[in-house]
Structure 1
Amino acid sequence: MPTPNNHIIVLGAGVTGLTSAVFLVEAGHDVTVIAAHVPGDSSIEYTSPWAGAHWHTHATPEDPRACDWDVQTYEYWIGVLEREGRDGTLPKAGLKLYDSFKYWDFPVKEAIWWAPYVKEYRVLADHQEPFCSINGSTPEGAGKIQAAVVYRAVAVNVAQYLLYLQERARKAGAVVIKARLPVDQGLQHALEAAEREAMSKGRRKGDCFVNATGLGAAKLCGDETMYPIRGQTVLVKGEAATIFTRSGVDYGAYCIPRPGSGSTILGGTKEKGVWSETPDPKVTEQILKHAALNIPELMTGPDGGFEIISVQCGLRPGRHGGARVEIERVGGKRVVHAYGHAGGGYQNSIGSARLTLRLVEESLACAPVAARL
């Protein structure tokens, strides 16, 4: 078994990197996080703050690993909320449990594999609310709901949750360093630069590295399977009382309250291969149009519309073949990759971080490192 004070250097301070850092440091490892962007920053390069985010699995039965990660995260978040409810002195993670409605504008053919794992799952009939009211107010020809379910799901105030993870890691002894690493000379060069940066702050050489650089791994690792999935969203005033996601014939829509913020995220898009950070006004118009049908109670503006706080785009780190969470040896250095979670970064985060911890400890316990898990 590895000694408890191995020094692990985590590259990246998004939800994947910070969750991994929390699990590593709380397992007894010495942890340094190095990232160009940290909680509180706003950059198109920093994906995690742009997320919706809530527990809504994108995994399919064909990817049992991602299914398992999502279930682990659901159960873990429920546990966090239960502990917060018992102990008012605990720092708040920015999580809250809501009724979450899922609508389809067509007959459901996908496997609802996750139904047994969530709280209070039930199928809605077309005479039940809000199924009935939404269809009743939808103009003819606009597409109506054909199937609906509801269950209890967790929504995330992403800004608060990222700070919570960072401070939890720091409280356990981790050090967070804001620094930009070179990416144009390969991963080995970046690892060496990260080690120098850590040592310049009084830290030791790294015994193992966790590469949680998200979309940046495309250039850093020369990973040609990586690609952006652009998502445009609208932040509006008012905190919705429920979550909804809706799958239309040619669109997707969702409404996710940000707990405690007095605001709600409306979305959204999934534009594969699009790098632009400039919002499209036509897309904004479509997002608001769909939201108006599904969540009219948020239309509190003086003109009867939504009160828009901001419109933004984020780039999800897509990867053909799914997320890369595996061990590699790079120039004599032990590395555990943890990137490419696409739009599932938050709901994958606990299961992925637990696997990352296990792989780090496996890599430290045996040499040479050549496993691909």
Structure 2
Amino acid sequence: MSSHTRDEVIVVGGGVIGLTTAVVLAERGRRVRVWTRDPLERTTSAVAGALWWPYRIEPIKAARGWALRSLDVYEELAGRPGETGVRLVEGVMGDTGPDETGSWTAGRLEGLRAATPEEYGGPVGLWARLPLVDMSTHLPWLRDRLGAAGGEVEERTVSALAEADAPVVVNCTGLGARELVPDASVRPVRGQLVVVENPGIHTWIVSKDAAGGIAHVFPHPGRLVLGGTSEEDAWSRSPDPAVAEAIVRRCAALRPEVAGARVLEHRVGLRPVRDAVRLEREPLPGGRVLVHNYGHGGAGVTVAWGCAEEAARLAASS
């Protein structure tokens, strides 16, 4: 096998995990192709509200390490928000106190404090300044950065990972890994969002109501993303009007201005949840290598760069 051939990598999956992994590999000198079933704007990642915070991901200790590494990158990218889609935005993490984060942020997050009653009406909330990522800008930016490093994205439906014939294959298929690996432990947790015109809200908020319903309000350029839901093992990608009404109602209880905002769009995404992220190297016949990087739940954006660098290390010895 020539050295030229050994440099080839196929990344299967074109969401934020796949694209970020491809960027890291390409910028380390690999010849990278991304195979994606869906165009960027139709991936699960495109639906994400995309606040940096570990959510629905295990093992939490490893995830926090990946998240903090990703935070380093997002803070740098936030210097060019119009280009990268990343901004540092203040807001309230409801039902969370400063003492609940200190064990893992280790002073890494500046300005953490208890939210005031005016900022959050619940018993306890955490005021924080966190990366908020506009995926409609960030995903194309990742694709362009990959292209600048010599990589390319190809829309291609894969029915088996064996179709990828490169010396190194990286499996970033998310929920698709359920069939492609196959790995029945990967399952969907459905999230529904309502996108509305922004009536002038500049801070984000995440909370739960007394019945355990999720509410979050994320201000993105030109719009406000309202959520959400967390429905276990639900496969429907069709928005439910009754669920949408409930989302708006919960968010309006937190931010009354939301109540009359004009609805722009309804979105549904299926989070690829697993008991633990699978990030490991699997030797294949003939000296080829398969690196798995999937099962990130609702935290794909949060851990993308940390996981990408680890996946690249696993691929490096090939």
State TM-score, norm by structure 1: 0.78
SS in structure 2 of the partner of residue 240 of structure 1? coil
SS in structure 2 of the partner of residue 101 of structure 1? strand
Aligned residue number for residue 194 of structure 1: 164
2:208 counterpart (235, 247, 250): 247
User: Is the CA contact (8 Å cut-off) linking 1:8 and 1:30 kept in structure 2?
Assistant: yes
Q: Which amino acid counterpart does residue 109 of structure 2 have in structure 1?
A: V
Q: CA deviation at 1:28?
A: 0.8
Aligned residue number for residue 52 of structure 1: 49
Q: Comparing 282-291 with 325-334, which one deviates more in the overlay?
A: 325-334
Q: Which amino acid counterpart does residue 180 of structure 1 have in structure 2?
A: T
Q: Tell me how many residue pairs correspond in the alignment.
A: 311
SS in structure 2 of the partner of residue 99 of structure 1? strand
Deviations 1:34-79 (A, max 9, x none): 1111323x2xxx2111111111222789621101011111121001
Aligned residue number for residue 8 of structure 1: 9
Q: CA deviation at 1:278?
A: 2.0
User: Is the CA contact (8 Å cut-off) linking 2:57 and 2:296 kept in structure 1?
Assistant: no
User: Is the CA contact (8 Å cut-off) linking 2:33 and 2:154 kept in structure 1?
Assistant: yes
Q: Which amino acid counterpart does residue 111 of structure 2 have in structure 1?
A: E
Q: 1:179 to 1:358 in 2, by over 3 A?
A: same
Pair 1:182 & 2:137 matched = no
State TM-score, norm by structure 2: 0.91
Task: Give the whole-Å Cα distance in 1 for the aligned partners of 2:224 and 2:17.
Answer: 23
Task: Give the whole-Å Cα distance in 2 for the aligned partners of 1:55 and 1:165.
Answer: 17
Aligned residue number for residue 315 of structure 1: 270
Aligned residue number for residue 283 of structure 2: 329
2:66 counterpart (64, 69, 91): 69
Task: Give the whole-Å Cα distance in 2 for the aligned partners of 1:162 and 1:110.
Answer: 34
Q: Which amino acid counterpart does residue 283 of structure 1 have in structure 2?
A: V
SS in structure 1 of the partner of residue 144 of structure 2? helix
Q: 1:71 to 1:315 in 2, by over 3 A?
A: same
Aligned residue number for residue 149 of structure 1: 126
Pair 1:130 & 2:119 matched = yes
Within 5 Å, give how 1:273-352 maps onto structure 2: 273-299=233-259, 305-320=260-275, 322-332=276-286, 333-352=288-307
Q: 1:109 to 1:276 in 2, by over 3 A?
A: farther
Q: CA deviation at 1:314?
A: 0.8
Q: Which has the larger radius of gyration?
A: 1
Deviations 1:61-120 (A, max 9, x none): 9621101011111121001223x38xxxxx71111111121122xx86993234522221
Pair 1:231 & 2:191 matched = yes
Two-structure CA RMSD over aligned residues (Å): 2.3
Q: Which amino acid counterpart does residue 75 of structure 2 have in structure 1?
A: I
Task: Give the whole-Å Cα distance in 1 for the aligned partners of 2:298 and 2:46.
Answer: 13
Pair 1:166 & 2:166 matched = no
Deviations 1:275-322 (A, max 9, x none): 1112222211211111112222344xxxxx1210111211010112x1
Aligned residue number for residue 213 of structure 1: 173
Aligned residue number for residue 33 of structure 1: 34
Task: Give the whole-Å Cα distance in 2 for the aligned partners of 1:217 and 1:74.
Answer: 27
User: Is the CA contact (8 Å cut-off) linking 2:56 and 2:297 kept in structure 1?
Assistant: no
Deviations 1:239-279 (A, max 9, x none): 63011100334211101122x3x011100011111111122
Pair 1:266 & 2:226 matched = yes
Q: 1:60 to 1:37 in 2, by over 3 A?
A: closer
SS in structure 1 of the partner of residue 100 of structure 2? coil
Q: Comparing 344-353 with 2-11, which one deviates more in the overlay?
A: 2-11
SS in structure 1 of the partner of residue 264 of structure 2? strand
User: Is the CA contact (8 Å cut-off) linking 1:60 and 1:67 kept in structure 2?
Assistant: no
Deviations 1:190-211 (A, max 9, x none): 33x233xxxxxxxxxx120100
Q: Which amino acid counterpart does residue 164 of structure 2 have in structure 1?
A: A
User: Is the CA contact (8 Å cut-off) linking 1:234 and 1:266 kept in structure 2?
Assistant: yes
Task: Give the whole-Å Cα distance in 2 for the aligned partners of 1:109 and 1:251.
Answer: 23
In structure 1, runs of 5+ residues without a counterpart are: 86-90, 136-144, 184-189, 196-205, 300-304, 365-373
User: Is the CA contact (8 Å cut-off) linking 1:59 and 1:67 kept in structure 2?
Assistant: no
In structure 2, runs of 5+ residues without a counterpart are: none
Q: 1:60 to 1:171 in 2, by over 3 A?
A: closer
Task: Give the whole-Å Cα distance in 2 for the aligned partners of 1:240 and 1:355.
Answer: 37
Task: Give the whole-Å Cα distance in 1 for the aligned partners of 2:304 and 2:59.
Answer: 19
Q: CA deviation at 1:160?
A: 0.9
